[in-house]
Amino acid sequence: MVTAQHPKYAHFPYDRWYHKYYYDMRKIANNCARCSVCKWIDSWEVKNPRFAKVCPSHTRYLFDAYSCQGRMDVALALMDSKLDPDSSPKLLDVVYKCNTCGGCDASASATRTWSLCG
C-alpha cells in the first residue's frame, strides 16, 4: 500500500487493487447480469406485491433507464461514445435521478450469493 496522492487524504492508506477494481466504471457496468433484481424483489422473498419494488426512481418514472440496469446501459453507451450527452439533455437527467439509496446493490449482492440448484 502507498499513500494517496491528494494532500487532503494523505493520511488514508491507498490500496491500488481496491481502487482499480472498485473505480473501474466499465468493469462495474459490465458486471450487471441484467436480472432486473435491482427493480423488483424476487417473488419468493416478498409477501405483498406492494412491497416488491426496490428502486425509488424506477418506481417514480416507470421507465427502464431509471433503474440501475438502465443506468449501466447508459454508462456503457457513454463510455463507448454511442451516446452523446450534449445531444440529449434528458440523458444526464436519467443518471442524476438516482438517489443512491443502495437498494440495487443490496439486491444484486443477495442474488450473487445464491447457489444454483442442481
State the Cα–Cα distance between residues 23 and 21, nearest whole angstrom.
6
pTM for the structure as a whole = 0.70
Give just the sign of the alpha carbon dihedral 74, 79, 82, 85.
positive
pLDDT tens track, the chain, 118 positions: 444 456 666 666 767 776 776 677 888 788 788 888 888 887 777 788 888 888 999 999 989 999 989 998 988 898 899 988 888 878 888 888 988 888 888 887 766 665 444 4
Q: Name the phi and psi angles at 52, rounded to 5.
A: -85, -10
State the Cα–Cα distance between residues 110 and 91, nearest whole angstrom.
29
- The per-residue pLDDT for 118 is 42
- The per-residue pLDDT for 2 is 44
- The per-residue pLDDT for 60 is 92
Burial class (CB in 10 A: 0-12, 13-18, 19+), 68: buried
- Read off the pLDDT of residues 19-51 as tens digits, 9 standing for 90 and up: 776 677 888 788 788 888 888 887 777 788 888
